[in-house]
Amino acid sequence: MSDRPPQPAGLAVRPLTPEQIHGVLTDVFDRAARCRLLDTGVAGLPAAPGHPQWLLAELGDVRVTGSCHRDRWYRSDTLPGAASGALPARPAVDPDTDRWRILEVLVFGPRAQIRLGERAEAGWISADAPGEVPDWLRPRDRSFLLQGWNGPGHSYTADARAPLSVTTEPGGSEAVLPVEWADFSGRHRPVPGGRTALESRGTWLTVREYWASDPATGAVGVAFHRLTGLSAGLKPTGPEIDVGSGDEIPGAAH
């Protein structure tokens, strides 16, 4: 029996050097320009320039979010007019003096994710690995609803340039999300076979799940996940659910 977890299929992870970690913090928080490492990749992970980038940062005293769809970052700490409870009172992170405040920083796009750990003492970049993966271990894309109270008085797009939204969560707390806001709604949609699917609209976080198989038992489960984006509108991934039975509808598509 091994005490090491099995390797997720289809996944490549590379550690970052101290210089690369400093470059990520400098690009995102100091220069407020595109994270170059996501565009260039590293040895063994291909470059993927030109895609949108997003930021989720957990600091000891505040959360900072942001989006960079072209050349510059729009971050929650620089958003004018948002409620003070959601925003820090000073620049989010100085790469040279503020690392002690960092609990976790995620910078990601559709093709790769960078994760910096506590105090930015270590970091990793992850992406799809080249090569074939067995069908039962193939990575799966999922989408999760970002929940906020419906209506412009509670949740709204505050800056559409990148964009950034302000939303009041059901528990009453306020968050700034790096995505254009869309209230949740659903409608019934007929699908082949006389069934009815629930078609959902809202604001979504998309995730790629990587699976692994335990060589000792054969058990298969999710062993790693990578954030891939945020979007508003129709639910971007399956499965679709039959309204009557609650069963998954195989092959149903928007």
pTM above 0.85, yes or no: yes
For residue 37, the surrounding DSSP H or E stretch is helix 36-40
The Cα 80–Cα 45 span in angstroms is: 37
Q: Is residue 200 classed as helix, strand or coil in its secondary structure? A: strand
Q: Is residue 36 classed as helix, strand or coil in its secondary structure? A: helix
- Phi, psi angle pair for 120, to nearest 5°: 55, 35
Is residue 76 within 8 A of residue 68, CB to CB? The reply is no
The Cα 140–Cα 222 span in angstroms is: 10
Tell me the average pLDDT across 116-145. 94
Mean pLDDT of the chain: 86
pLDDT digits (tens, 9 = 90+) for 180-204: 999 988 888 877 777 777 788 999 9
pLDDT digits (tens, 9 = 90+) for 29-81: 999 999 999 999 888 888 889 899 999 999 988 899 999 998 999 998 887 65
Q: What does DSSP say about strands 140-145 and 195-213: parallel, antiparallel, or unpaired? A: antiparallel
Is residue 59 within 8 A of residue 102, CB to CB? The reply is yes
The Cα 21–Cα 114 span in angstroms is: 9
Tell me the residue type at 213.
S
- Phi, psi angle pair for 76, to nearest 5°: -65, -30
The Cα 113–Cα 225 span in angstroms is: 10
Write down the pLDDT at residue 150: 84
Name the band, by pLDDT with cuts 50, 70 and 90, for residue 114.
very high
